[in-house]
Amino acid sequence: MIRSMTGFGAAEGPVGGSRVSVELRSVNHRFFNPSLKLPNALAQWEGEVREALRQRIARGHVTAMARIERNEEAGIAVDEERFARFAADLKRLRDTHGLGGDVDVATVLRMPDVLRMEQDEDALATATAAELVVVVEAAIAALQAMREAEGARLATVIAERIAMVDGAVERLAARAPERMEAQRLRLRENVERLAGGVAVDPQRLAQEIAILADKLDVGEELDRFRSHISAFRETLAANDAEPVGKRLGFLLQELLREANTTGSKANDATMLQDVVVVKEELERIREQVENLE
């Protein structure tokens, strides 16, 4: 199945006695590269969250952010141990660096985790990793739905582009025999003109023409072109769970190699125009394939 690597998904659900919301954002990356941002109360289950993501997402830089939904009736408490430690550290830094001003209560209260919600922490005391993973998997499902919808749109665009490449290849195949015959006639005429009426060994001339034909023949390149295009279309149309981005990228490299070889052998303005069309379309396809998982 074609999936984009770009997407967003969110979900929320009960974890212990609290509600937790999870947001997932993904962008392009060569590999699976997760970045987790969990509140302290949930940080102990980072491994379980990472594994849930890895099981469902093959490629992409994925940012996962969880947030504990605050209970409006929860009381606010001060972590006095943290408060005292931050206050002492701030005073030490002020004195060490000769800074002015007082270390006031408001400054210390803004330090991380000095203020906490009493009832929320009590509610999370009964939380489990499995409950958090359920919410994460719901967010993953939403993310994958968006990635699949975007992937379907990209697949349509890519299919249109590869059809243009296929058309150019067929024009190259139609022109190749005409170009070969024209080259044979041109070589024969040039040899006769340079000979200036002197008899030319027909066997030697035929041999030179055969060597030229071998150098200019693009039949093998066009056969491989068709084979790669067929494999590309089959991969694009595959309806299984396996990611296809890397395989499509490999096939694009092979197509570009055949385009370069064909261009170096063409020696024909009409064929070179179609080779340029092929390269342009392959580059446009590459830009889209880089977005696929």
pLDDT of residue 176: 84
229 contacts 166 by C-beta, under 8 angstroms:
yes
Tell me how far the alpha carbon of residue 83 is from its chain's centroid.
Answer: 45
User: What pLDDT, on a 0 to 100 scale, did the predictor assign at position 41?
Assistant: 85
Q: Does domain 148-289 have CATH number 1.10.3470?
A: no
Please count the CA atoms within 13 angstroms of the CA of 217 that sit on its side-chain side: 9
Q: What is the pLDDT of residues 7-44, one digit of tens each?
A: 999 999 999 888 999 999 999 998 999 999 998 889 99
Q: Which long-range contacts (CB under 8 A, 24 or more apart) does 145-150 make?
A: 145/9, 146/7, 146/8, 146/9, 147/3, 147/4, 147/5, 147/6, 147/7, 147/26, 147/293, 148/1, 148/2, 148/3, 148/4, 150/3, 150/4, 150/6, 150/7, 150/291
pLDDT tens sequence for the chain (293 residues) = 789 999 999 999 999 888 999 999 999 998 999 999 998 889 999 999 999 999 999 999 999 999 988 665 556 778 888 899 999 998 988 888 888 888 888 888 888 888 775 545 556 778 899 999 999 999 999 999 999 999 999 999 999 999 999 999 999 999 888 877 776 767 666 666 666 666 666 676 666 666 666 677 788 899 999 999 999 999 998 887 788 999 999 999 999 999 999 988 887 888 899 999 999 999 999 999 999 99
Q: Report d(CA 226, CA 229) in Å as an integer.
A: 5
Domain ranges of the chain: 7-71+127-146, 80-113, 148-289
Give the per-residue pLDDT at 102: 83
Name which CATH class applies to 7-71+127-146: alpha beta
